[in-house]
Amino acid sequence: MERGLEIKIRRTKSKMTALELSRKLEISPTKLSLIENGHKTCPDHLYTKIRNILKNI
């Protein structure tokens, strides 16, 4: 599974909006959307941060 799709699935299962996650990550909602939809790659450090945020919900 692509990282972007995995992030989107985990985020929606956690009942977190894209806006909420982007604020926690300190990135724009547009950048998060691009990552989730596979138009931009997710750097390793950001992917780790996302997994940690979503794991703690």
Tally of domains in the chain = 1
Q: Cα separation of 18 and 21, whole Å?
A: 5
What local confidence, expressed as pLDDT, does residue 14 receive? 95
State the pLDDT at residue 56: 75
pLDDT tens sequence across 17-41:
999 999 999 999 999 999 999 999 9
Tell me what pLDDT residue 1 has.
75
pTM strictly above 0.85: yes
Distance of CA 37 to the CA centre of its chain: 10
pLDDT digits (tens, 9 = 90+) for 41-56: 999 999 999 999 998 7
User: What CATH number has the domain bearing residue 32?
Assistant: 1.10.260.40
Question: Which structural domain range is residue 7 located in?
Answer: 3-55
Query: Can you tell me the mean pLDDT for 9-13?
Result: 96
> Around 1, how many Cα atoms within 13 Å sit in the side-chain half-sphere?
9
Length of the chain: 57
